[in-house]
Amino acid sequence: MNYHSRKLLKLNLAPWRMATVGSLMLVGLTVVAGRAFYLQGLNTDYLQGKGDAVANRNLILPAQRGQVTDRHGQLLAISTPVESLWARPGELKLTAAQQTQLARVLGMPGSELAKKMARKTRGEFSVRRPVTPEQAVKIAAMGVPGLHLRREFRRYYPAGEVAAHVVGFTNVDDLGQEGVERAYQDWLAGREGQRQIQRDRRGNTIRDLAPIKTAQLGGNLALALDLNIQYLAHRELAAAIAKNKAKGGSVVVLDAKTGEILALANQPIFNPNNRRNYKPGPMRNRAVIDTFEPGSTIKPFVAAAVLERGLFHPDSVIDTPETWRVGAKLVRDTHPHPQLTVSEIIQKSSNVGAVKMAMSLTPQQHWEVLHRSGFGQLPGSGFPGESAGRLRDAGTWKPVEQATMAYGYGLSVSLLQLTRAYMAFANDGEVMPLSFLKREPQEIAGVRVFSSSVAREVRAMMETVTQEGGTGMRTRVPGYRVAGKTGTAHKLVDGRYAPDRYLSSFIGMAPASNPRLIIGVVIDEPSGGVYYGGSVAGPVFAQVMAASLRQLALPPDAPESATRMTQNMLPVVARAGGGV
């Protein structure tokens, strides 16, 4: 069929129109192709980036801080996620009814909430941190634009102030500030992980774009602390501080066999869960950081020094006049006895006797025994800020100074250091390294300080302290033999010894036949009328020791009281250590 021949179908177009339409279409095509080339070829990186930004996400996987527990797994510190309520003022659309509801959910007066919400800050502000899980659910259900919940970790200390000085605390950035939290920061903190993911339109994760860098969770830490003993120490110390109207005090409980710190309590205390109103004073771990002049508690070391060199025997008799002159210094005994044996010098805490024994040593020999016992050196517990105390070099000692050193003036120690040094007497001459962490017995090697015979002789002397005629009769523990030494030292105030300010202390061990526990107690400035170490610190020792021995279910070693008890033939009410 010939279209051209049919009149109706005959196109009668001017050639220029054909050309115009054709070229317009060509131009259109070129534009589209050019645009496509521009997008796909030249601008691809930028656009790909934009697309990825919508679909891909970099997630930070938070590393939860490790837990701190006591030796039996009782929780001392744990991080747990909490929700906190934040508001963005720019987007906030809160109706009056919603505001009332929110105030009710938060348990906050309406006016206070209104004031908070009226804030015109840039960015966002927190309304309440943290909120409880129940509150979080209710708030999320309200779905108010501009209000959102944010998850963050918060550190809790379930034992509160009882273990606060040992455990320490973290700051808002989860960095350890004090105590174990600071000492083991790296171990507890862990490392954040990262994950790159692709999301679909609805926000579901479709796939991982890169291998996941898993978060390294913070390690858990089991302390040597026994929370039960820690609580007893805390309770008894607090009671003694109140009773004696003292400024402060500390208790340290050591395992004599392993060097583990079973309890360490201080007064005054602070609450690690309440992070407001922090004062540095109560936060200080006095037992580890503060030093004091030990007073008579140093005398057993003098006795050990003279026994070890064979200069005296425990039964050697020494003349002990009421006063004794060394250089310009008059050494005085408050309860004089004309003659005492070495053992009785310890029992009755005679200054004159201790000085006479010390003066039989050269300064170098005297210094060497104190140095060997750990004075003037860091105790090595690893606690942040632990104090080394002060022990001057023997070359600088004048005779007067050596004399005062014999009854505990002119050198300074921390309670932890002093208690550690007593481990030599408790452990037949060997001192175990201190540890705040729980340890397996086989991984410990001790250091020999005294021969085992000297250690036993001094321990026997210290046992007489708690017997009839000793200075520590109020430190007795029924059923057990106790050895220890009292100390009452004048405090140094503005370079002079204050006549009416004292530090009362007692360091002791039980069961004396084979000591398992050493407890050191120091009370700072008792002002309730009594100030002797045996009367102020002694009862704290006795209470904590009795309860701890029961806690550890150690068999009694005092024969006379055991027989007395069986004669009574009373029904068994509670067995030592038995869980009733």
Partner 1 sequence: MSRLNVVLALLLMACALALIQSQHRSRTYFVELERLKKQAHMLDEQWGQLQLEQSTWANPARVDTLARTRLGLIAPPNDRVRIETLTAAP
Least distance CB 425 / partner 1 (angstroms): 26
Mark 75-114 with x for binding to partner 1 (rule: CB under 8 A) and - for no binding: x--xxxx---------------------------------
Task: Name the residue nearer to partner 1 (CB basis): 34 or 133.
Answer: 133
Q: Least separation, in Å, of the C-beta of 190 and partner 1?
A: 14
Question: Which residues pair with residue 263 across a beta bridge?
Answer: 253
Q: How far is the CB of 566 from partner 1 (least distance, A)?
A: 7
Give the separation between CA 417 and CA 252, rounded to whole angstroms.
10
Regarding 13 and contact with partner 1 (CB under 8 A), the answer is no
Cα angle 86-91-92, degrees, rounded to a multiple of 5: 60
Q: Does residue 204 touch partner 1 according to CB under 8 A?
A: yes
Q: Which is nearer to partner 1, 30 or 563 (CB)?
A: 563
- For residue 155, the surrounding DSSP H or E stretch is strand 147-156
Nearer to partner 1, 143 or 571 (CB): 571
Does the protein bind partner 1 through residue 235 (CB under 8 A)?
yes
Residues in the chain: 580
160 versus 190: smaller Cβ distance to partner 1: 160
In angstroms, what is the C-alpha Rg of the chain? 38
Q: Which is nearer to partner 1, 150 or 575 (CB)?
A: 575
59 touching partner 1, by CB under 8 A? no
Q: Which CB, 317 or 576, lies closer to partner 1?
A: 576
Which of 242, 223, 389, 362 is CA-nearest to residue 306?
A: 362
Q: What span, in angstroms and rounded, lies between the C-alpha atoms of 187 and 168?
A: 15
Nearest approach in angstroms of CB 549 to partner 1 is: 12
State yes or no: residue 162 binds partner 1 (CB under 8 A): yes
- 579 near partner 1 (CB under 8 A): no
Q: Which of 63, 159, 303, 413 binds partner 1 (CB under 8 A)?
A: 159
Please report whether residue 74 would count as binding partner 1 according to CB under 8 A: yes
Angle made by CA atoms 422, 425, 430, in degrees to the nearest 5: 95
Position 203 contacts partner 1 (CB under 8 A):
no
At its nearest, how many Å lie between partner 1 and the CB of residue 76?
8
Q: What is the pairing mode between strands 147-156 and 193-199?
A: unpaired
Determine the interface stretch with partner 1 among 103-111, 119-127, 225-233, 343-351 (rule: CB under 8 A).
Answer: 225-233
Among 56, 101, 220, 228, binds partner 1 (CB under 8 A): 228
What is the full DSSP assignment across 65-109?
Answer: PPPEE-TT--EEEEEEEEEEEEE-TTT----HHHHHHHHHHHT--
Q: Give the tokens for residue 240.
A: 């003694």
Catalytically active residues are 296
Q: Which of 22, 145, 158, 281 binds partner 1 (CB under 8 A)?
A: 158
SS3 464: helix
Determine the 3-state secondary structure of 232 from DSSP.
helix
In the complex, the smallest distance separating the C-beta of residue 562 from partner 1, rounded to whole angstroms, is 6
Binding mask 555-574 for partner 1 (x = CB under 8 A): xx-----x--xx-xxxxxxx
Kindly state the smallest distance separating residue 231's Cβ from partner 1, in Å: 4
DSSP letter for each residue of 332-395: E-SS--SEEEHHHHHHHT-HHHHHHHHTTS-HHHHHHHHHHTTTTS------TT----B---GG
Q: Is residue 478 close enough to count as binding partner 1 by CB under 8 A?
A: yes
Rounded CA-CA distance 536/242 in Å is 11
Q: How many residues bind partner 1 (CB under 8 A)?
A: 37
Cα atoms in the Cβ-side hemisphere of radius 13 Å centred on 272: 29
Geometric angle at alpha carbon 118, from 115 and 122, rounded to 5°: 130
Tell me if 202 contacts partner 1 by CB under 8 A: no
**Alpha-carbon distance 513 to 462, whole Å?**
12
Helix, strand or coil, per DSSP, at residue 312: coil
Residue among 21, 31, 137, 206 that touches partner 1 (CB under 8 A): 206
> Toward partner 1, which CB reaches closer, 130 or 259?
130
**Smallest gap from residue 480 Cβ to partner 1 (A):** 11
Residues of this chain that interact with partner 1 (CB under 8 A) are 67, 74-75, 78-81, 156, 158-160, 162, 204-207, 227-228, 231, 235, 478-479, 547, 555-556, 562, 565-566, 568-576
